[in-house]
Amino acid sequence: MCDLIAVIEPATISMIHYYLEKTLSSTPKLSDVTSLVGVGQAMRLLLSKEVATKSGQQTYYYRQNPDNLDRPFHHRRIDLTSERAQQVSVLQTIEQAQELILP
């Protein structure tokens, strides 16, 4: 999951759940995704940031260490740096997303 978040960050629980549904052969429960993200935070692998949105507060999750794009957790064949660059290029075109992109 940390590899996924490293590519799609900033990501909400619902975004993480959506991408996991699309990549796994079984559908994870939203509560399981929430728990796993909590474990990632407890292990200091993930950070969170509260952001005020039109619909209220939203929590976004980020990778703890910016260098972990060079060291994927489980998928050595995925070029996380290239995948992240593609994701950021899209986020940079969305005004609301620009403030969420961490350096």
Model pLDDT for residues 45-61, shown as the tens digit of each residue: 888 999 888 888 999 99
The Cα 86–Cα 14 span in angstroms is 21
Q: Where in the chain are the domains?
A: 2-98
Confidence at 70, pLDDT banded by 50, 70, 90: low
In 12-87, which ranges are E strands?
A: 46-53, 56-63
Average pLDDT, rounded, for the chain:
81
Instruction: Indicate the CATH number for domain 2-98.
Output: 1.10.10.10
Whole-Å CA distances, 58 to 11, 31, 76:
10, 17, 32
Encode pLDDT of 31-49 as tens digits.
999 999 999 899 888 889 9
The Cα 38–Cα 83 span in angstroms is 24
Q: Are 19 and 68 in contact (CB under 8 A)?
A: no
Q: Is 87 exposed, middle or buried (0-12, 13-18, 19+ CB in 10 A)?
A: middle
Confidence at 74, pLDDT banded by 50, 70, 90: low
The mean pLDDT of 66-77, rounded to a whole number, is 58
Tokens of 54: 């039109």
Phi, psi of 97 (to 5 degrees): -80, -25
pTM of the model: 0.66
pLDDT of amino acid 32: 93
